[in-house]
Amino acid sequence: MLETPIWITNFKNYESAIGHSALELARIHERVARETGVSIGIAVSAMDIFRIAKEVSIPVFAQHVDPIDYGKCTGYILPQGVKKAGAIGTLLNHSERRLPWEDLENAVCCAQKATLKRIVCAENPEEVEKFVDLDPDFLAFEPPELIGSTKASVASSKPESIKKSVLLAGKIPLLVGAGINSVEDVEVSLRLGAKGFLVATAITKAVDPEQALRLFVKAMKKR
């Protein structure tokens, strides 16, 4: 279900990836996964998890959960609630939803208690090294200054940081994000040891999301 190399598209809160549009985009990912055999997952808005998880067979992730358990906490995202809605895992500490260290530790523990797969995001190799101690299922390396970029990527601008992060991650599979725009970005990242990708803009803002996804997946299958 989560074989590597894996491709995960973060739908964020783009208009093209919310509500009915999110379901259509999820179905595209399911179709490409089924036809290519590549492991593909999606991280969707908490509001869309239940509907999408019922409609598609590919892994669905939450974009965030809070470090809480059953009880009060109005307005927070409960890990067990995400699990019951159909998600199999969650992102944590994305650069757009950073957590203080203590909160991150607690969120990882709460997500584990809810039997959610945990993808912990790191902004630099130093954080990759630090977050290894959290024993997540995946680490995602995304320099924040390159997230959403359509002109530069971590693979083209900082390839040495991918290699370093892979080494620091050790046995924990490292995903690469931040400006992944081209087949070359995919090929370089995999050659440097990455085990997958966490990408948003290149798919969610593509004129033809399915064509874009198929190009990336084709490059992944060459490995």
Distance of CA 119 to the CA centre of its chain: 7
Containing H/E element for 57?
none
CA torsion through residues 35, 147, 130, 76, sign: negative
- Mark whether 210 is an active-site residue: no
Residue ranges covered by each domain of the chain: 6-221
Which residue of the set 29, 64, 123, 142 is catalytic?
142
Predicted pLDDT at 178? 81
Radius of gyration of the CA atoms of the chain, in A: 16
Containing H/E element for 123?
none
Whether residue 204 contacts residue 174, with contact meaning beta carbons closer than 8 Å, is answered with no
Predicted pLDDT at 223? 61
- Mark whether 127 is an active-site residue: no
Which residue of the set 29, 64, 94, 123 is catalytic?
94
Predicted pLDDT at 11? 98
Q: What is the model's pTM?
A: 0.95
Q: For each successive 10 residues of the chain (223 residues), what is the average pLDDT?
A: 92 96 98 97 98 98 98 96 98 96 98 98 97 98 78 82 96 92 93 96 95 96 72
Q: Is 6-221 a domain of CATH 2.40.30.10?
A: no
